[in-house]
Structure 1
Amino acid sequence: MSFDDDPGRGGGDPADDRFSTLGGTRQTRTRLPESTGDPYGSTRRPQRGSRSLVMVVGVVVLLVAAIAFANRGSDSGSSPDGQSPKKPDAQSTAASGTKPVGGKQGGIASGYAHDEQGAQSAASNYAVVLGSEGMFKSSTRADIVRATHDPAVVDGLLSRLDQAYTPSFFKNVGLNDDGSTPSGLTFVSRTVPVGTKVAQQDGASATVEAWCTGLVGLAGPGSTKPVTQTWFTITEKLKWVGGDWKITSSSQTQGPTPVSGDDRASTADEIAKAVQGYGGFTYAR
């Protein structure tokens, strides 16, 4: 409802409208009696809109919250019964502090800890490299698969991938038939883990879910496949092989997907410069 549509703000006398409100808050209008002894003449008191009332209430709430926080901060740290209060469990979001990897294999992080945290770190970094531009090139795809997967499944997986990365597939993402990038454009394929969760873990195996967002497309003038963002969850089944976590199988589902913000979409040139200028990370749980 527009400001002029409020009862009493259009034509007519507001006092004649028994449903008259201030700013949609349904506050009753009250006409104050005029003073007879005012040397400056009789005037009406200005009405305070609901917006001012909301602002006052908001400030009061903030002050109360600040006072409560200050009092809590000055507490000695013990509860009324004399026992220390239980701290909130932040395991789902806090970093473990454990070193994520001990080395690299073919430029890919390796040497993860043989525990739950190591499995999550492995799943995150494997999701990143398996979603990179290197998977679209046969020369680097084999190296990536061998560095991230159980040797027992590598040959079969590579055979299936070679059948999947066809000229028609490359065309769907805007690449040339051989998977190369068209002249004057920058191919973007990045996976960014947002969080991980262990669904199962024992001494020899683990199943880890990695919630990710991804960027894929072509940046540059004349691109018919602009870079877009996706959200998905990768489930990786890991096995402890040769002193490290390796993937035995994986699957992917869409989402969870948040509501898009109001950010202005960058130009193709800005995206290309960002991809070329900003490197990735080694992820740790």
Structure 2
Amino acid sequence: MSLGDDGYGGGQGGYDDDRHVTRTRLPEGEVDPYAPTRRGSGRSGRSGRPSSRNLITVVGVVVLLIAAIAFANRGDGSGSSDDSGGGANQRPAGSQATAPTGTKPVDGRTGGIASGFAHSEQGAQSAAANFAVALGGDGMFKKDSRHAIVDAIHTPDAAPKLQGQLDQAYSTDFLKNVGLQADGSAPKGMTFVSRTVPVGSKTTSYGGDDATVEVWCTGLVGLAGQGSTKPVTQTWFTITQKLRWENDDWKIVSSSQKQGPAPVGGDDRASGADEIANAVSGYGGFTYAR
């Protein structure tokens, strides 16, 4: 998990650096003819990956991260909730693609996070995608920025309780296991990476003022730097958000997270620590619009 414009913290462009905001719109079904062809050999390894000992350590870190965020976002203490509206508002998940609609991306900002989403099903999906980026960013690992993120994207009723849960989840011991200092900062000479990239979204229920949206994501997490024992690795997970239209915008009532779906790993060469650190600091994130 694993919540600049996508990371909300140092090394990713900062909260208000609009130079790094990128917006993309690809026609549905468009395929990049220059994309590399993946081999279907089913190999799980690839050139340049860390040793098996380091890989086991990284897996442990990722599991801890997912467990912490899942625990903190349980809402009613069971990992999910049923307050998004029921009965006639519920509907089975569809196969509708995440495609451009012609609706302009939002241009509002609340605490560096996109805001002012449309009061529609499309707006709910856009909000959920951008909220997933915020919840998966490195800003969640520092108390002050974490509180600002939670207040910005949750309902006033949900935010206070979640703040306390998150403060417990992001404990000193947890931060140490991730490789960070007690205040959430990276050790000297290291760059901490925690970035979430939505791959697609779908609405599983919609009732006008209530919506449930699933966002399938890939993410990067780890420490980039010479001698890092927790190198940056890729994760795959799905975030389910229960949203409510409140104060003229979509806000999170509760959310939960699960691992996958994860594709077979490719044969890309793993980049060096400096290359990864430079990429994280040099490339900004996206504002996602349905």
TM-score class, shorter-chain normalisation, is: 0.5 to 0.7
Q: Does 1:243 align with 2:248?
A: yes
Equivalent residue, structure 1, for 2:212: 207
The structure showing larger relative contact order (alpha-carbon pairs under 8 Å, at least 6 residues apart) is: 2
Measure the CA separation in 1 of the matches of 2:107 and 2:155.
Answer: 19
In the TM superposition, structure 1's runs of 4+ consecutive aligned residues that sit over 4 Å from their partners are none
Counterpart of 1:49?
none
- Local SS of the residue matching 1:187: strand
- The amino acid that maps onto 1:142 is H
Distance 2:186 2:119 in 1: 39
Name the TM-score, length of structure 2 as normaliser. Answer: 0.66
- Give the deviation of 1:100 after TM superposition: 2.8
Unpaired segments ≥5 residues, structure 2: 1-94
1:91 to partner: Cα distance: 4.8
Counterpart residue number, 2:11: none
- C-alpha RMSD of matched pairs (Å): 1.4
1:193 to 191, 198, 202: 198
Any conservation in 1 of the 2:98–2:202 contact (CA below 8 Å)? no
| Cα distance, 1:178 vs structure 2 | 2.3
Aligned residues: 197
TM-score, length basis structure 1: 0.67
Q: Do the aligned partners of 2:213 and 2:242 also contact (CA within 8 Å) in 1?
A: yes
Within the alignment, does 1:278 sit opposite 2:283 as a pair?
yes
Question: 2: distance between equivalents of 1:248 and 1:91?
Answer: 24
Q: Which residue of 1 aligns with 2:162?
A: 157
Whole-angstrom CA distance in 2 between matches of 1:121 and 1:157: 22
CA radius of gyration, larger in: 1
> Which ranges of structure 1 fall in alignment gaps of 5 or more residues?
1-89
- Taking the aligned partners of 2:258 and 2:165, their CA distance within structure 1 comes to 20
Q: Are residue 184 (structure 1) and residue 177 (structure 2) matched?
A: no
TM-superposition CA deviations, 1:97-156 (whole Å, max 9, x none): 212324111211000000000000000000001111111011111110011000111111
In the TM superposition, 1:121-140 aligns within 5 A as 121-140=126-145
Q: Which moved more, 1:245-254 or 1:168-177?
A: 168-177
Q: Secondary structure at the match of 1:156?
A: helix
Checking the alignment, whether the CA contact within 8 Å between 1:102 and 1:112 is kept in structure 2 is no
Q: Is the contact between residue 207 and residue 238 of structure 1 (CA under 8 Å) also seen in structure 2? A: yes
Task: Please list, as runs of the form range in 1=range in 2, the aligned pairs for 1:44-63 lying within 5 A after superposition.
Answer: none
